[in-house]
């Protein structure tokens, strides 16, 4: 198994709180963010949101009969549950797959990394560093930052 694959396998076992990001060793973070924005736009253009409404299954709950020691019985009112509408995007999975394929064609791999501990020191860098067993991810509002402390 190649070394990066071993590192990724080890990282998968370390943490349950994980985040996904696109990664290419030595690639510019700005280029990755730009490429991802372009791939997302292409995927949205080719596979636009296609919402459909569905309804949760309905289930009948009959009344419950309860009797006391004297033999007096009462029956609670029957009722229905479910039937709530919800929407799903029929193209959501295909759009995510198209984005991943587009990024792969540009040399990136979708990886999953644990969240960095609070207060992790971050050295300023414009490129993605090599992965190590200590590599973690800071999930920024404008894109993920892969950190190797």
Cα–Cα distance list, 82 to 55, 78, 86 (Å): 8, 14, 11
How many CB atoms sit inside 10 A of residue 24's CB? 18
How far is it, in rounded angstroms, from Cα 149 to Cα 129?
Answer: 10
pLDDT in tens, 62-113: 999 999 999 999 999 999 999 999 999 999 999 999 999 999 999 999 999 8
Q: What is the pLDDT of residue 2?
A: 47
Length of the chain in residues, anyone?
Answer: 149
The packing angle between helices 29-46 and 92-105, to 10°, is 140
Give residue 9's pLDDT band: very low, low, confident or very high (50, 70, 90): very low
pLDDT in tens, 60-74: 999 999 999 999 999
CA-closest candidate to residue 133, choices 22, 21, 12? 12
Give residue 14's pLDDT band: very low, low, confident or very high (50, 70, 90): very low
């Amino acid at each position: 198994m190649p070394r990066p694959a071993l590192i990724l396998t080890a990282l998968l076992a370390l943490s349950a709180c994980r985040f996904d990001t696109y990664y290419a060793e030595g690639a510019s973070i700005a280029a990755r963010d730009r490429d991802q924005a372009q791939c997302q736009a292409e995927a949205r253009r080719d596979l636009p949101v296609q919402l459909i409404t569905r309804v949760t299954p309905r289930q009948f709950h009959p009344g419950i009969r309860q009797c006391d020691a004297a033999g007096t019985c009462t029956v609670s009112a029957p009722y229905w549950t479910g039937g709530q509408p919800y929407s799903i995007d029929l193209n959501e999975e295909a759009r995510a797959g198209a984005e991943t394929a587009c990024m792969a064609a540009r040399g990136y791999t979708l990886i999953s990394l644990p969240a960095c501990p609070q207060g992790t020191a971050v050295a300023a860098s414009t490129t993605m560093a090599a992965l190590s067993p200590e590599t973690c991810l800071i999930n920024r509002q404008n894109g993920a930052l892969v950190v190797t402390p």
